[in-house]
Amino acid sequence: MAPPLIPRFGLEITMRKKFGQVYQFKITLMNTSPPVWRRIQVSEYFTFWDLHVAIQDSMGWLDCHLHEFKLTDPASGLNKSIGVPAKDEMYAVDMLPGWKHKISAWFTIDHPRAKYMYDFGDGWKHDVLLEKIEPRQEGVRYPLCLAGKMACPPEDCGGVWGYADICKGKSEFQSDFEDYDPAYFDPKEVEFEDSKERFKMALG
């Protein structure tokens, strides 16, 4: 048998155990009105990298910018950042690698919240709320998008202010968004990609 593939940064590509519980999150894009949100269920074995990919896919982002989770470590009570550490030590910050940390060690009913940042230029901030932990249902494929409202804003549209102008039809680039319907979202159309393959493309 061939050894498991270990890309740079040390993520081991292995078969995960059959899990027994799912974590249900509500992801809300902050400062949008009406709010853009999604409700998803994921495996208890998910890492923060896996959760990042699930958020990207359910929201409709293209995963072409940096991201970061900010939350409180339930063990120490300290605020931590989890994401992709900078490769260049000159720009490195104290950020934990998302692929090395399981969500089950950080999210509990007593510590249910995190902030998820995407695209530090446009500054998209998401509220990540753990709503419940429940048994896995046989025959259901996870991750799963249960519900949501409103279309994801277009990439690189200028953050919440640019998005608001597009929704009002007042953007200086409005002609670029003629086919964009901000009110449309169908959870049945969400397709979740393989987070391990995404890792290899992004960081491998």
Q: Is residue 162 part of a domain?
A: no
Q: Is the pLDDT of residue 183 over 70?
A: yes
* Of 6 and 78, more confident: 78
pLDDT band of 71, cuts 50, 70, 90: very high
Q: Is residue 11 part of a domain?
A: no
Is the pLDDT at 203 greater than 90? The verdict is no
In a domain, 13, yes or no: no
Q: Residues 127, 36: contact at Cβ < 8 Å? A: no
Of residues 123 and 87, the one with the higher pLDDT is 123
What percentage of the chain carries pLDDT values higher than 90? 79
Q: What is the pLDDT of residue 7?
A: 37
Inter-CA distances, 60 with 118, 144, 145, 151, Å: 12, 14, 12, 8
Question: Does residue 172 lie in a domain region?
Answer: no
Tell me the C-alpha distance between 86 and 204, whole Å: 14
CA atoms of 190 and 70, how far apart (whole Å): 25
Q: Are 35 and 29 in contact (CB under 8 A)?
A: yes
**pLDDT tens per residue, range 46-70:** 999 999 999 999 999 999 999 999 9
Supply the pLDDT for residue 93. Answer: 64
In-domain check, residue 10? no
**Does some domain include residue 84?**
yes
**Lowest mean pLDDT across 7-21, 23-37, 150-164:** 7-21
CATH of residue 142's domain is 3.10.290.30
Q: Count the domains in the chain.
A: 1
- Residue 65 within any structural domain of the chain: yes
Q: Per the domain annotation, does 169 fall within a domain? A: no
Which residue range(s) make up the domain with 129? 21-157+183-202
pLDDT for 13 beyond 90: no
Please choose, from the candidates 98, 13, 85, the residue with its C-alpha nearest in 3D space to the C-alpha of residue 48.
98
3-state secondary structure of 85: coil
- Burial label for 12, CB within 10 Å (0-12, 13-18, 19+), is exposed
114 and 73 Cβ atoms separated by less than 8 Å:
no
